[in-house]
Structure 1
């Protein structure tokens, strides 16, 4: 196995690892309001997230950006809570901040911005793997592509489940969105409460 293949596998394993489910929760939060028929919107949304985390993954891995890992581990579940909370309002037309159009359009820059935060989280793991290795381009490229492949599989699974629940089993879409978003928020709040930085600040 080449160095590129090795890091591609590591990136794939990292994003799909159930022990590090925070990134999976974020992708779930992003995709909750969609099904397979919305695949074009999801591609744009996930691409925005990809651009964001690719930037900071590269910068942090090269040592250009330095952020306290405990702070990043706190911010990641915060991004999940915010993203999942938006799902509750995507059909509301009560005020300027909860218009369907505004909520949808806001998801794209938010995905990009939150991707920057998640990229810092990915970089902590990659830097630990690299150690003092001088050449990082091939590992960085392989790891990032591995992340994207794993992320794509997660997206397909989430959209497929949503399609079955909503289109075939006829579960009301609003119920599906609210229940899944609530579960995601609950799990994310647990991550926040148990975060080292959060506990030290109490």
Structure 2
């Protein structure tokens, strides 16, 4: 197996893993407002998140930037909570039937910018794991690329599963989109609060 394939798999299974549940919960919160038909928008958001975490992952792995792990572990649940609060704020709003305004381009918008900013924080969370894998490799360009591609593929699979579950709930159980957003975001926010309290109290 090549170096690229090895780090591709490591990146994929690092995110597609229950031990990375804080990142999984963030993806759950990020996808909560969207349905299967919005898949292009979701891919854009996830890729914006990937761009953000790829940047800080590269900088932290090369030891150009460094932050205390405790600070990062505190900031990650805060990103989840802020995402959930945004979902709560938007959930009651339903588009008017006669609204003919064109939607914003897929790759633009505050949501994409926010996802990229939050990705900067999550990338720092990935960096300790990747530094352990790289050891003394001082110029891990290929490894970083492969790892980030693997993370992106894992994230896309996760959000695909989330959108599929949402489709089943909305169509099969006749749940409203508003209820889906509130329940999913509430669950994600609850987990984030527990993570934050554990970090602050040292539990």
Common fold, TM-score beyond 0.5?
yes
Map of 1:199 onto structure 2: 201
Map of 1:106 onto structure 2: 110
1:27 aligns with 2:27: yes
- Structure 1 CA distance for aligned equivalents of residues 133 and 73 of structure 2: 18
- RMSD value over aligned CA atoms? 1.9
| Residues 23 and 122 in structure 2, CA contact (< 8 A), matched pair in contact too | yes
TM-score between both structures, scaled by the size of structure 2? 0.88
Q: Which has the higher helix share?
A: 1
Q: Within 5 A, what are the aligned runs for 1:20-99?
A: 20-92=20-92
Matched residue SS, 1:21: helix
- Structure 1 CA distance for aligned equivalents of residues 90 and 111 of structure 2: 10
Matched residue count = 190
CA shift at 1:91, angstroms? 4.2
Runs ≥4 in structure 1, deviation > 3 angstroms? Answer: none
CA shift at 1:199, angstroms? 2.6
- Structure 2 CA distance for aligned equivalents of residues 114 and 134 of structure 1: 26
CA shift at 1:155, angstroms? 0.8
- Unaligned stretches of 5+ in structure 2? 94-102
- Unaligned stretches of 5+ in structure 1? 94-100
Q: Which has the higher contact order (CA 8 A, sep 6+)?
A: 2
Matched residue SS, 2:88: helix
